[in-house]
Structure 1
Amino acid sequence: MGERSDHPQGQGATEDSGAREIEATVVLGLRITDWPALRAAARAAVEDLDFEGVDPAEQRRELLREVSEDPNAALGVLLHPDRLVAAMPGVDALGGTLEISVTEDFAPDFAELFPLDGDEEGSGGVGDWTLTPRTACLLHAQLLGLADAAYDDLEEHEGEPVLESEEHEWAVLGRLPTRTWGLHRGWRRSMARAFDDLADDLALGEWPLPRCPAEDIALRMALADARNLLGAQPESVADMMGDLPADLYDYDWDGCLDELFGVYGPEDGDPEADTASRTEELIAATHPEGWFLPYEDAEERDAQRGYRR
Protein backbone atom coordinates (compact mmCIF):
# COMPACT_ATOMS: atom_id res chain seq x y z
CA MET A 1 0.00 0.00 0.00
CA GLY A 2 1.14 3.49 -0.71
CA GLU A 3 1.74 6.17 1.84
CA ARG A 4 -1.41 7.91 3.02
CA SER A 5 -2.00 11.50 1.87
CA ASP A 6 -4.33 14.03 3.43
CA HIS A 7 -4.71 15.83 0.08
CA PRO A 8 -7.87 15.06 -1.88
CA GLN A 9 -7.27 12.93 -4.95
CA GLY A 10 -9.23 12.06 -8.04
CA GLN A 11 -12.01 13.66 -10.05
CA GLY A 12 -13.52 16.75 -8.46
CA ALA A 13 -10.70 17.29 -6.02
CA THR A 14 -10.11 20.88 -7.24
CA GLU A 15 -13.73 21.88 -6.70
CA ASP A 16 -13.79 20.36 -3.21
CA SER A 17 -10.57 22.03 -2.12
CA GLY A 18 -11.83 25.45 -3.13
CA ALA A 19 -15.33 25.19 -1.69
CA ARG A 20 -14.69 27.57 1.19
CA GLU A 21 -16.07 30.93 2.13
CA ILE A 22 -13.35 33.40 3.07
CA GLU A 23 -13.62 36.99 4.27
CA ALA A 24 -10.62 39.02 3.13
CA THR A 25 -9.78 42.51 4.36
CA VAL A 26 -7.46 44.61 2.23
CA VAL A 27 -6.16 47.99 3.36
CA LEU A 28 -4.41 50.08 0.70
CA GLY A 29 -2.58 53.35 0.99
CA LEU A 30 -2.74 55.15 -2.35
CA ARG A 31 -1.36 58.38 -3.76
CA ILE A 32 -2.79 59.76 -6.99
CA THR A 33 0.11 60.82 -9.19
CA ASP A 34 -1.62 61.00 -12.59
CA TRP A 35 -5.24 62.12 -12.33
CA PRO A 36 -5.87 62.14 -16.11
CA ALA A 37 -4.69 58.52 -16.39
CA LEU A 38 -6.81 57.47 -13.41
CA ARG A 39 -9.84 59.23 -14.84
CA ALA A 40 -9.40 57.60 -18.25
CA ALA A 41 -9.17 54.14 -16.67
CA ALA A 42 -12.27 54.77 -14.57
CA ARG A 43 -14.26 56.00 -17.58
CA ALA A 44 -13.26 52.89 -19.53
CA ALA A 45 -14.40 50.72 -16.61
CA VAL A 46 -17.77 52.48 -16.50
CA GLU A 47 -18.24 51.87 -20.24
CA ASP A 48 -17.81 48.13 -19.58
CA LEU A 49 -20.44 48.03 -16.82
CA ASP A 50 -23.95 46.69 -17.36
CA PHE A 51 -26.66 48.93 -15.93
CA GLU A 52 -30.15 47.73 -15.08
CA GLY A 53 -33.33 49.31 -13.82
CA VAL A 54 -34.77 52.68 -14.78
CA ASP A 55 -32.94 54.52 -17.58
CA PRO A 56 -29.60 52.63 -17.76
CA ALA A 57 -28.23 55.23 -20.19
CA GLU A 58 -28.77 58.02 -17.67
CA GLN A 59 -27.16 55.92 -14.93
CA ARG A 60 -24.10 55.49 -17.11
CA ARG A 61 -23.93 59.22 -17.93
CA GLU A 62 -24.21 60.16 -14.26
CA LEU A 63 -21.47 57.74 -13.20
CA LEU A 64 -19.24 58.95 -16.03
CA ARG A 65 -19.73 62.50 -14.79
CA GLU A 66 -18.84 61.48 -11.22
CA VAL A 67 -15.64 59.63 -12.13
CA SER A 68 -14.61 62.50 -14.42
CA GLU A 69 -14.82 65.03 -11.59
CA ASP A 70 -14.03 63.10 -8.41
CA PRO A 71 -10.88 60.99 -7.87
CA ASN A 72 -12.65 59.14 -5.04
CA ALA A 73 -15.43 58.10 -7.42
CA ALA A 74 -12.86 57.00 -9.99
CA LEU A 75 -11.08 54.85 -7.40
CA GLY A 76 -14.43 53.49 -6.25
CA VAL A 77 -15.16 52.11 -9.72
CA LEU A 78 -11.72 50.59 -10.22
CA LEU A 79 -11.48 49.11 -6.72
CA HIS A 80 -15.03 47.77 -6.49
CA PRO A 81 -14.96 44.25 -4.95
CA ASP A 82 -16.84 42.70 -7.88
CA ARG A 83 -14.29 44.10 -10.33
CA LEU A 84 -11.32 42.93 -8.28
CA VAL A 85 -12.70 39.41 -7.79
CA ALA A 86 -13.58 39.10 -11.48
CA ALA A 87 -9.84 39.17 -12.23
CA MET A 88 -9.20 36.14 -9.97
CA PRO A 89 -9.67 32.64 -11.43
CA GLY A 90 -11.65 30.13 -9.39
CA VAL A 91 -13.29 32.68 -7.10
CA ASP A 92 -16.88 33.89 -6.91
CA ALA A 93 -17.79 37.14 -5.16
CA LEU A 94 -20.31 36.67 -2.34
CA GLY A 95 -20.64 40.39 -1.67
CA GLY A 96 -18.58 43.12 -0.15
CA THR A 97 -18.24 46.81 0.52
CA LEU A 98 -15.68 49.45 -0.35
CA GLU A 99 -14.78 52.38 1.88
CA ILE A 100 -12.47 55.17 0.72
CA SER A 101 -11.24 57.87 3.07
CA VAL A 102 -8.93 60.77 2.38
CA THR A 103 -5.90 61.14 4.64
CA GLU A 104 -6.32 64.66 5.90
CA ASP A 105 -2.74 65.03 7.11
CA PHE A 106 -1.17 64.01 3.81
CA ALA A 107 1.35 66.51 2.50
CA PRO A 108 3.78 66.29 -0.40
CA ASP A 109 7.44 65.71 0.49
CA PHE A 110 8.71 69.12 -0.54
CA ALA A 111 12.30 68.27 0.42
CA GLU A 112 12.23 65.51 -2.19
CA LEU A 113 10.22 67.48 -4.76
CA PHE A 114 12.41 70.60 -4.57
CA PRO A 115 15.89 69.34 -3.64
CA LEU A 116 18.32 72.02 -2.62
CA ASP A 117 21.29 70.04 -3.90
CA GLY A 118 19.65 69.10 -7.21
CA ASP A 119 21.06 70.20 -10.52
CA GLU A 120 19.65 73.27 -12.19
CA GLU A 121 17.60 71.32 -14.74
CA GLY A 122 16.13 68.87 -12.26
CA SER A 123 15.21 71.40 -9.58
CA GLY A 124 13.81 74.00 -11.94
CA GLY A 125 16.28 76.62 -10.87
CA VAL A 126 17.20 79.65 -12.94
CA GLY A 127 20.72 80.84 -12.21
CA ASP A 128 21.34 80.72 -8.46
CA TRP A 129 17.73 81.23 -7.45
CA THR A 130 15.49 78.26 -6.78
CA LEU A 131 12.12 77.54 -5.27
CA THR A 132 13.05 76.07 -1.91
CA PRO A 133 11.17 73.32 -0.02
CA ARG A 134 10.01 75.74 2.66
CA THR A 135 8.79 78.34 0.20
CA ALA A 136 7.00 75.66 -1.82
CA CYS A 137 5.39 74.25 1.34
CA LEU A 138 4.07 77.61 2.54
CA LEU A 139 2.87 78.61 -0.92
CA HIS A 140 1.16 75.23 -1.38
CA ALA A 141 -0.67 75.66 1.93
CA GLN A 142 -1.87 79.15 0.97
CA LEU A 143 -3.11 78.00 -2.44
CA LEU A 144 -5.06 75.12 -0.92
CA GLY A 145 -6.44 77.42 1.75
CA LEU A 146 -7.60 79.93 -0.85
CA ALA A 147 -9.20 77.18 -2.92
CA ASP A 148 -11.04 75.84 0.14
CA ALA A 149 -12.21 79.33 1.07
CA ALA A 150 -13.40 80.02 -2.49
CA TYR A 151 -15.41 76.80 -2.52
CA ASP A 152 -16.81 77.74 0.90
CA ASP A 153 -17.87 81.11 -0.52
CA LEU A 154 -19.61 79.28 -3.32
CA GLU A 155 -21.44 76.88 -1.04
CA GLU A 156 -22.58 79.66 1.30
CA HIS A 157 -23.55 82.30 -1.25
CA GLU A 158 -24.11 80.30 -4.49
CA GLY A 159 -24.82 82.89 -7.20
CA GLU A 160 -25.49 85.86 -4.94
CA PRO A 161 -23.58 88.99 -5.98
CA VAL A 162 -20.91 90.46 -3.75
CA LEU A 163 -22.28 93.75 -2.50
CA GLU A 164 -20.17 96.77 -1.76
CA SER A 165 -19.54 97.15 1.99
CA GLU A 166 -20.32 93.43 2.41
CA GLU A 167 -17.24 92.06 0.66
CA HIS A 168 -15.74 91.23 4.08
CA GLU A 169 -18.38 88.50 4.40
CA TRP A 170 -16.71 86.64 1.53
CA ALA A 171 -13.46 84.83 2.28
CA VAL A 172 -11.99 85.00 -1.24
CA LEU A 173 -14.46 86.09 -3.90
CA GLY A 174 -14.90 89.49 -2.25
CA ARG A 175 -11.15 90.10 -2.66
CA LEU A 176 -11.33 89.79 -6.44
CA PRO A 177 -11.80 92.81 -8.74
CA THR A 178 -15.26 94.34 -8.38
CA ARG A 179 -16.14 93.53 -12.00
CA THR A 180 -16.27 89.84 -10.97
CA TRP A 181 -18.62 90.31 -8.03
CA GLY A 182 -21.79 89.58 -9.98
CA LEU A 183 -20.55 86.65 -12.02
CA HIS A 184 -22.25 83.26 -12.07
CA ARG A 185 -21.57 80.11 -10.08
CA GLY A 186 -19.67 78.38 -12.90
CA TRP A 187 -17.16 81.22 -13.14
CA ARG A 188 -16.61 81.20 -9.40
CA ARG A 189 -16.03 77.46 -9.42
CA SER A 190 -13.42 77.85 -12.15
CA MET A 191 -11.69 80.55 -10.11
CA ALA A 192 -11.54 78.22 -7.10
CA ARG A 193 -10.01 75.57 -9.33
CA ALA A 194 -7.28 77.99 -10.45
CA PHE A 195 -5.88 77.91 -6.91
CA ASP A 196 -6.03 74.12 -6.91
CA ASP A 197 -4.30 73.87 -10.30
CA LEU A 198 -1.31 75.82 -9.03
CA ALA A 199 -1.24 73.80 -5.80
CA ASP A 200 -1.25 70.60 -7.88
CA ASP A 201 1.79 71.89 -9.79
CA LEU A 202 3.67 72.22 -6.52
CA ALA A 203 2.52 68.80 -5.31
CA LEU A 204 4.06 67.33 -8.47
CA GLY A 205 7.37 69.11 -7.94
CA GLU A 206 6.75 71.72 -10.63
CA TRP A 207 7.01 75.47 -10.30
CA PRO A 208 3.53 77.06 -10.15
CA LEU A 209 3.84 79.06 -13.35
CA PRO A 210 0.56 80.86 -14.15
CA ARG A 211 -0.83 79.68 -17.48
CA CYS A 212 -3.72 82.15 -17.75
CA PRO A 213 -4.77 85.51 -16.25
CA ALA A 214 -6.91 83.81 -13.56
CA GLU A 215 -3.87 81.88 -12.35
CA ASP A 216 -1.84 85.09 -12.33
CA ILE A 217 -4.37 86.59 -9.94
CA ALA A 218 -4.53 83.40 -7.86
CA LEU A 219 -0.77 83.14 -7.43
CA ARG A 220 -0.39 86.80 -6.48
CA MET A 221 -3.08 86.36 -3.82
CA ALA A 222 -1.30 83.28 -2.44
CA LEU A 223 2.05 85.07 -2.34
CA ALA A 224 0.50 88.02 -0.51
CA ASP A 225 -1.15 85.72 2.03
CA ALA A 226 2.07 83.75 2.53
CA ARG A 227 4.01 86.97 3.15
CA ASN A 228 1.37 88.20 5.62
CA LEU A 229 1.22 84.90 7.49
CA LEU A 230 4.98 84.75 7.84
CA GLY A 231 5.04 88.29 9.22
CA ALA A 232 2.11 87.82 11.61
CA GLN A 233 2.66 84.22 12.76
CA PRO A 234 6.29 83.20 12.25
CA GLU A 235 6.06 80.49 14.93
CA SER A 236 3.10 78.87 13.19
CA VAL A 237 4.99 78.87 9.91
CA ALA A 238 8.01 77.35 11.62
CA ASP A 239 5.81 74.56 13.02
CA MET A 240 4.39 73.95 9.55
CA MET A 241 7.87 73.46 8.10
CA GLY A 242 8.76 70.58 10.41
CA ASP A 243 12.07 69.05 9.32
CA LEU A 244 12.21 70.71 5.91
CA PRO A 245 15.75 71.99 5.22
CA ALA A 246 16.40 75.71 5.51
CA ASP A 247 17.99 77.76 2.75
CA LEU A 248 19.11 81.29 2.00
CA TYR A 249 16.28 81.70 -0.52
CA ASP A 250 13.48 80.66 1.86
CA TYR A 251 10.49 83.00 1.61
CA ASP A 252 12.10 85.14 -1.08
CA TRP A 253 8.86 86.69 -2.27
CA ASP A 254 10.57 89.18 -4.58
CA GLY A 255 12.38 86.26 -6.19
CA CYS A 256 9.06 84.47 -6.64
CA LEU A 257 7.64 87.52 -8.40
CA ASP A 258 10.66 87.67 -10.68
CA GLU A 259 10.92 83.96 -11.51
CA LEU A 260 7.38 82.55 -11.39
CA PHE A 261 5.67 85.22 -13.47
CA GLY A 262 6.34 86.04 -17.08
CA VAL A 263 7.45 82.56 -18.21
CA TYR A 264 4.08 82.48 -19.92
CA GLY A 265 2.06 85.58 -20.53
CA PRO A 266 1.29 88.50 -22.79
CA GLU A 267 4.02 89.70 -25.09
CA ASP A 268 1.98 92.51 -26.60
CA GLY A 269 1.79 96.00 -25.16
CA ASP A 270 4.35 98.55 -24.13
CA PRO A 271 7.79 96.96 -24.66
CA GLU A 272 9.15 99.13 -21.86
CA ALA A 273 6.59 97.79 -19.37
CA ASP A 274 7.40 94.88 -17.08
CA THR A 275 5.51 91.57 -17.11
CA ALA A 276 3.27 92.54 -14.21
CA SER A 277 2.16 95.74 -15.94
CA ARG A 278 1.43 93.95 -19.22
CA THR A 279 -0.55 91.28 -17.36
CA GLU A 280 -2.55 93.93 -15.50
CA GLU A 281 -3.33 95.63 -18.81
CA LEU A 282 -4.48 92.30 -20.29
CA ILE A 283 -6.70 91.53 -17.28
CA ALA A 284 -8.21 95.02 -17.41
CA ALA A 285 -8.90 94.72 -21.14
CA THR A 286 -10.32 91.18 -20.99
CA HIS A 287 -13.76 90.17 -19.75
CA PRO A 288 -13.40 87.88 -16.73
CA GLU A 289 -14.91 85.02 -18.73
CA GLY A 290 -11.71 85.10 -20.78
CA TRP A 291 -9.37 84.94 -17.82
CA PHE A 292 -9.26 81.14 -17.99
CA LEU A 293 -8.06 81.01 -21.60
CA PRO A 294 -4.43 79.86 -21.59
CA TYR A 295 -1.63 82.13 -22.69
CA GLU A 296 -0.53 81.44 -26.23
CA ASP A 297 2.76 79.79 -25.24
CA ALA A 298 1.42 77.87 -22.21
CA GLU A 299 0.39 74.23 -22.20
CA GLU A 300 -3.37 73.99 -21.81
CA ARG A 301 -4.56 72.21 -18.68
CA ASP A 302 -6.60 69.06 -19.06
CA ALA A 303 -10.16 70.14 -19.82
CA GLN A 304 -11.53 66.97 -18.18
CA ARG A 305 -9.74 67.41 -14.84
CA GLY A 306 -12.94 68.25 -12.99
CA TYR A 307 -13.33 70.15 -9.72
CA ARG A 308 -12.47 69.26 -6.14
CA ARG A 309 -15.94 70.30 -5.01
Structure 2
Amino acid sequence: MPASSSTRPGATRYVWLSIVAALATIGLKLAAWWLTGSVGLLSDALESFVNLFAAVFALSMVIVAAAPPDEDHPYGHSKAEYFSSGFEGTLILLAAAAILWTAIPRLWAPQPLETLGIGLWLTAASTAVNLAVSRVLSGAAQRLRSVALEADARHLMTDVWTSCGVVIGLLAVLATGWLWLDAAIAVLVALRILAEGWRLMRGAVGGLMDEALPADDLAVIEDVLEGFRPRGLHFAELQTRRGGHARFISVKVRVPGDWRVDASHGLLDEIEAALAARLPGAQTVTHLEPLEAVMPLQAPREADRAG
Protein backbone atom coordinates (compact mmCIF):
# COMPACT_ATOMS: atom_id res chain seq x y z
CA MET A 1 0.00 0.00 0.00
CA PRO A 2 1.21 3.52 -0.63
CA ALA A 3 2.28 5.73 2.22
CA SER A 4 -0.70 7.35 3.79
CA SER A 5 -1.41 11.00 3.11
CA SER A 6 -0.87 11.74 6.77
CA THR A 7 2.83 10.94 6.53
CA ARG A 8 3.72 12.94 3.43
CA PRO A 9 2.95 16.42 4.84
CA GLY A 10 5.65 15.58 7.39
CA ALA A 11 8.16 15.48 4.55
CA THR A 12 7.02 18.96 3.48
CA ARG A 13 7.72 20.36 6.95
CA TYR A 14 11.24 18.94 6.90
CA VAL A 15 11.95 20.51 3.50
CA TRP A 16 10.87 23.88 4.92
CA LEU A 17 13.38 23.32 7.72
CA SER A 18 16.06 22.79 5.06
CA ILE A 19 15.07 26.04 3.32
CA VAL A 20 15.33 28.04 6.55
CA ALA A 21 18.72 26.46 7.32
CA ALA A 22 19.99 27.31 3.82
CA LEU A 23 18.99 30.96 4.23
CA ALA A 24 20.71 31.14 7.61
CA THR A 25 23.95 29.55 6.40
CA ILE A 26 24.03 31.74 3.27
CA GLY A 27 23.96 34.84 5.47
CA LEU A 28 26.68 33.54 7.77
CA LYS A 29 29.00 32.36 4.98
CA LEU A 30 28.61 35.46 2.83
CA ALA A 31 29.46 37.57 5.88
CA ALA A 32 32.53 35.40 6.49
CA TRP A 33 33.65 35.78 2.86
CA TRP A 34 33.01 39.55 2.86
CA LEU A 35 35.11 40.02 5.98
CA THR A 36 38.02 37.81 4.93
CA GLY A 37 38.12 37.81 1.12
CA SER A 38 38.78 34.06 1.25
CA VAL A 39 37.98 32.22 -1.98
CA GLY A 40 37.59 29.09 0.11
CA LEU A 41 34.80 30.73 2.09
CA LEU A 42 33.30 32.00 -1.15
CA SER A 43 33.19 28.44 -2.48
CA ASP A 44 31.47 27.37 0.72
CA ALA A 45 28.88 30.15 0.34
CA LEU A 46 28.19 29.19 -3.28
CA GLU A 47 27.32 25.65 -2.22
CA SER A 48 24.85 27.04 0.31
CA PHE A 49 23.05 28.76 -2.56
CA VAL A 50 22.87 25.33 -4.18
CA ASN A 51 21.34 24.04 -0.94
CA LEU A 52 18.67 26.72 -1.11
CA PHE A 53 17.73 26.15 -4.77
CA ALA A 54 17.72 22.40 -4.24
CA ALA A 55 15.52 22.65 -1.15
CA VAL A 56 12.96 24.85 -2.97
CA PHE A 57 12.81 22.37 -5.86
CA ALA A 58 12.61 19.46 -3.40
CA LEU A 59 9.61 21.13 -1.78
CA SER A 60 7.74 21.20 -5.08
CA MET A 61 8.62 17.56 -5.85
CA VAL A 62 7.59 16.34 -2.39
CA ILE A 63 4.21 18.05 -2.89
CA VAL A 64 3.82 16.36 -6.31
CA ALA A 65 4.90 12.97 -4.90
CA ALA A 66 2.21 13.19 -2.20
CA ALA A 67 -0.58 13.40 -4.80
CA PRO A 68 -2.76 10.26 -4.88
CA PRO A 69 -2.95 8.00 -7.95
CA ASP A 70 -5.15 9.25 -10.77
CA GLU A 71 -6.29 8.11 -14.20
CA ASP A 72 -3.06 9.18 -15.89
CA HIS A 73 -0.80 7.98 -13.04
CA PRO A 74 -2.34 4.78 -11.64
CA TYR A 75 0.83 3.97 -9.67
CA GLY A 76 0.93 7.39 -8.03
CA HIS A 77 3.47 10.20 -8.34
CA SER A 78 6.18 9.01 -5.95
CA LYS A 79 8.89 9.03 -8.63
CA ALA A 80 8.75 12.84 -8.70
CA GLU A 81 11.25 12.86 -5.83
CA TYR A 82 13.93 11.46 -8.15
CA PHE A 83 13.71 14.65 -10.21
CA SER A 84 14.62 16.54 -7.04
CA SER A 85 17.68 14.34 -6.50
CA GLY A 86 18.77 14.75 -10.13
CA PHE A 87 18.20 18.51 -10.07
CA GLU A 88 20.23 18.82 -6.89
CA GLY A 89 23.05 16.83 -8.47
CA THR A 90 23.02 19.16 -11.49
CA LEU A 91 23.21 22.25 -9.29
CA ILE A 92 26.11 20.74 -7.37
CA LEU A 93 28.04 20.18 -10.60
CA LEU A 94 27.42 23.80 -11.65
CA ALA A 95 28.54 25.08 -8.25
CA ALA A 96 31.71 23.00 -8.47
CA ALA A 97 32.46 24.49 -11.91
CA ALA A 98 31.98 28.02 -10.51
CA ILE A 99 34.32 27.29 -7.61
CA LEU A 100 37.04 25.97 -9.94
CA TRP A 101 36.62 29.02 -12.20
CA THR A 102 37.20 31.31 -9.20
CA ALA A 103 39.86 29.33 -7.36
CA ILE A 104 42.29 28.16 -10.05
CA PRO A 105 43.52 31.69 -10.99
CA ARG A 106 44.15 32.34 -7.28
CA LEU A 107 46.67 29.48 -7.22
CA TRP A 108 49.03 31.65 -9.27
CA ALA A 109 47.89 35.03 -7.93
CA PRO A 110 47.02 34.57 -4.22
CA GLN A 111 45.14 37.38 -2.49
CA PRO A 112 45.74 38.52 1.11
CA LEU A 113 43.14 37.45 3.67
CA GLU A 114 41.69 39.66 6.37
CA THR A 115 39.77 39.25 9.64
CA LEU A 116 40.15 35.47 9.58
CA GLY A 117 39.16 35.05 13.20
CA ILE A 118 35.61 36.37 12.73
CA GLY A 119 35.29 34.54 9.43
CA LEU A 120 36.21 31.23 11.04
CA TRP A 121 33.67 31.72 13.82
CA LEU A 122 30.90 32.51 11.33
CA THR A 123 31.81 29.45 9.28
CA ALA A 124 31.79 27.28 12.40
CA ALA A 125 28.29 28.54 13.25
CA SER A 126 26.97 27.75 9.76
CA THR A 127 28.57 24.28 9.93
CA ALA A 128 26.80 23.57 13.21
CA VAL A 129 23.46 24.55 11.65
CA ASN A 130 24.02 22.30 8.63
CA LEU A 131 25.13 19.37 10.79
CA ALA A 132 22.06 19.58 13.02
CA VAL A 133 19.62 19.91 10.10
CA SER A 134 21.32 17.11 8.17
CA ARG A 135 20.88 14.69 11.06
CA VAL A 136 17.21 15.65 11.41
CA LEU A 137 16.59 15.23 7.66
CA SER A 138 18.41 11.89 7.57
CA GLY A 139 16.20 10.47 10.30
CA ALA A 140 13.07 11.80 8.61
CA ALA A 141 14.17 10.36 5.25
CA GLN A 142 14.38 6.89 6.78
CA ARG A 143 11.02 7.13 8.50
CA LEU A 144 9.19 8.59 5.49
CA ARG A 145 11.23 6.75 2.81
CA SER A 146 11.76 10.08 1.06
CA VAL A 147 14.35 10.22 -1.73
CA ALA A 148 14.23 14.02 -1.73
CA LEU A 149 14.93 14.28 2.00
CA GLU A 150 17.71 11.71 1.74
CA ALA A 151 19.39 13.68 -1.06
CA ASP A 152 19.04 16.92 0.89
CA ALA A 153 20.51 15.35 4.04
CA ARG A 154 23.49 13.93 2.17
CA HIS A 155 24.10 17.24 0.44
CA LEU A 156 24.07 19.10 3.74
CA MET A 157 26.59 16.62 5.16
CA THR A 158 28.78 17.29 2.13
CA ASP A 159 28.48 20.97 3.00
CA VAL A 160 29.60 20.18 6.55
CA TRP A 161 32.73 18.40 5.37
CA THR A 162 33.33 21.16 2.82
CA SER A 163 33.21 23.80 5.54
CA CYS A 164 35.58 21.76 7.69
CA GLY A 165 38.01 21.57 4.77
CA VAL A 166 37.84 25.33 4.23
CA VAL A 167 38.48 26.02 7.91
CA ILE A 168 41.47 23.67 7.86
CA GLY A 169 42.80 25.52 4.82
CA LEU A 170 42.46 28.90 6.49
CA LEU A 171 44.13 27.66 9.65
CA ALA A 172 46.96 26.35 7.46
CA VAL A 173 47.29 29.82 5.89
CA LEU A 174 47.51 31.35 9.36
CA ALA A 175 50.13 28.82 10.44
CA THR A 176 52.33 28.95 7.32
CA GLY A 177 51.60 32.26 5.64
CA TRP A 178 51.13 30.40 2.32
CA LEU A 179 48.20 32.24 0.73
CA TRP A 180 47.89 29.74 -2.13
CA LEU A 181 46.62 27.14 0.35
CA ASP A 182 43.27 28.96 0.42
CA ALA A 183 42.79 28.43 -3.32
CA ALA A 184 44.14 24.87 -3.14
CA ILE A 185 41.57 23.92 -0.53
CA ALA A 186 38.84 25.51 -2.67
CA VAL A 187 39.89 23.30 -5.61
CA LEU A 188 39.76 20.21 -3.41
CA VAL A 189 36.31 21.28 -2.19
CA ALA A 190 35.14 21.59 -5.80
CA LEU A 191 36.39 18.09 -6.63
CA ARG A 192 34.59 16.68 -3.58
CA ILE A 193 31.40 18.44 -4.63
CA LEU A 194 31.73 17.01 -8.14
CA ALA A 195 31.82 13.48 -6.71
CA GLU A 196 28.69 14.08 -4.61
CA GLY A 197 26.84 15.62 -7.56
CA TRP A 198 27.66 12.61 -9.71
CA ARG A 199 26.47 10.22 -6.99
CA LEU A 200 23.14 12.02 -6.64
CA MET A 201 22.55 12.12 -10.39
CA ARG A 202 23.38 8.42 -10.72
CA GLY A 203 20.93 7.57 -7.93
CA ALA A 204 18.20 9.62 -9.60
CA VAL A 205 18.73 7.87 -12.94
CA GLY A 206 18.70 4.49 -11.20
CA GLY A 207 15.38 5.27 -9.53
CA LEU A 208 13.79 6.47 -12.77
CA MET A 209 15.05 3.29 -14.49
CA ASP A 210 13.17 1.08 -12.00
CA GLU A 211 16.08 -0.52 -10.16
CA ALA A 212 15.18 -3.46 -7.92
CA LEU A 213 14.71 -3.00 -4.19
CA PRO A 214 17.93 -3.17 -2.12
CA ALA A 215 19.23 -6.47 -0.77
CA ASP A 216 17.84 -5.84 2.74
CA ASP A 217 14.30 -5.42 1.39
CA LEU A 218 14.66 -8.50 -0.83
CA ALA A 219 15.73 -10.53 2.20
CA VAL A 220 12.59 -9.43 4.05
CA ILE A 221 10.41 -10.43 1.07
CA GLU A 222 12.03 -13.86 0.86
CA ASP A 223 11.55 -14.35 4.61
CA VAL A 224 7.83 -13.53 4.35
CA LEU A 225 7.31 -15.85 1.38
CA GLU A 226 9.26 -18.62 3.09
CA GLY A 227 6.74 -18.55 5.93
CA PHE A 228 3.95 -19.48 3.50
CA ARG A 229 5.74 -22.39 1.76
CA PRO A 230 4.80 -24.99 4.43
CA ARG A 231 1.16 -24.31 3.51
CA GLY A 232 1.71 -25.77 0.05
CA LEU A 233 2.48 -22.57 -1.85
CA HIS A 234 5.18 -22.11 -4.48
CA PHE A 235 6.48 -18.74 -5.67
CA ALA A 236 8.01 -17.69 -8.98
CA GLU A 237 9.07 -14.63 -10.99
CA LEU A 238 9.55 -12.25 -8.06
CA GLN A 239 10.04 -8.72 -9.37
CA THR A 240 10.56 -5.54 -7.37
CA ARG A 241 11.17 -1.85 -7.91
CA ARG A 242 11.29 1.34 -5.90
CA GLY A 243 9.48 4.51 -6.87
CA GLY A 244 10.39 7.30 -4.46
CA HIS A 245 8.88 6.45 -1.07
CA ALA A 246 6.83 3.57 -2.53
CA ARG A 247 7.89 -0.05 -2.97
CA PHE A 248 6.41 -2.29 -5.67
CA ILE A 249 6.44 -6.09 -5.55
CA SER A 250 5.12 -8.59 -8.09
CA VAL A 251 5.14 -12.37 -7.61
CA LYS A 252 3.38 -15.44 -9.03
CA VAL A 253 1.80 -17.72 -6.43
CA ARG A 254 1.30 -21.34 -7.48
CA VAL A 255 -1.15 -23.58 -5.63
CA PRO A 256 -2.52 -27.09 -6.24
CA GLY A 257 -5.18 -27.02 -8.95
CA ASP A 258 -7.83 -28.67 -6.76
CA TRP A 259 -7.80 -25.85 -4.21
CA ARG A 260 -10.91 -23.70 -3.93
CA VAL A 261 -10.56 -20.33 -5.66
CA ASP A 262 -11.87 -18.36 -2.68
CA ALA A 263 -9.44 -20.07 -0.30
CA SER A 264 -6.53 -19.44 -2.68
CA HIS A 265 -7.35 -15.75 -3.01
CA GLY A 266 -7.65 -15.53 0.75
CA LEU A 267 -4.03 -16.67 0.96
CA LEU A 268 -3.04 -14.00 -1.56
CA ASP A 269 -4.61 -11.38 0.70
CA GLU A 270 -2.61 -12.77 3.64
CA ILE A 271 0.64 -12.61 1.66
CA GLU A 272 0.03 -9.02 0.59
CA ALA A 273 -0.86 -8.00 4.15
CA ALA A 274 2.25 -9.71 5.56
CA LEU A 275 4.51 -7.94 3.06
CA ALA A 276 2.87 -4.57 3.79
CA ALA A 277 3.40 -5.13 7.52
CA ARG A 278 7.11 -5.90 7.10
CA LEU A 279 7.73 -3.32 4.36
CA PRO A 280 5.58 -0.22 4.99
CA GLY A 281 4.47 1.40 1.77
CA ALA A 282 4.79 -1.82 -0.23
CA GLN A 283 2.29 -2.32 -3.04
CA THR A 284 2.16 -6.02 -3.88
CA VAL A 285 0.62 -7.60 -6.96
CA THR A 286 0.13 -11.38 -6.71
CA HIS A 287 -0.86 -13.60 -9.62
CA LEU A 288 -2.48 -16.99 -8.94
CA GLU A 289 -1.44 -20.00 -11.04
CA PRO A 290 -2.18 -23.76 -10.78
CA LEU A 291 0.86 -25.70 -9.63
CA GLU A 292 0.14 -28.53 -12.08
CA ALA A 293 0.82 -26.20 -15.00
CA VAL A 294 4.49 -26.25 -14.01
CA MET A 295 5.12 -29.49 -12.11
CA PRO A 296 4.48 -31.93 -15.03
CA LEU A 297 7.49 -30.41 -16.81
CA GLN A 298 9.64 -31.40 -13.83
CA ALA A 299 8.15 -34.87 -13.32
CA PRO A 300 10.46 -36.78 -15.77
CA ARG A 301 13.57 -35.39 -14.13
CA GLU A 302 12.24 -36.36 -10.68
CA ALA A 303 11.57 -39.90 -11.98
CA ASP A 304 15.08 -40.16 -13.40
CA ARG A 305 16.59 -39.19 -10.04
CA ALA A 306 14.35 -41.74 -8.29
CA GLY A 307 15.58 -44.48 -10.64
Give your verdict on TM over 0.5. Answer: no
Q: Counting strand residues as a fraction of each chain, which structure ranks higher? A: 2
TM-score by length of 1: 0.24
Structure having greater relative contact order (Cα 8 Å, sep ≥ 6): 2
Q: Counting helix residues as a fraction of each chain, which structure ranks higher? A: 2
TM-score by length of 2: 0.24
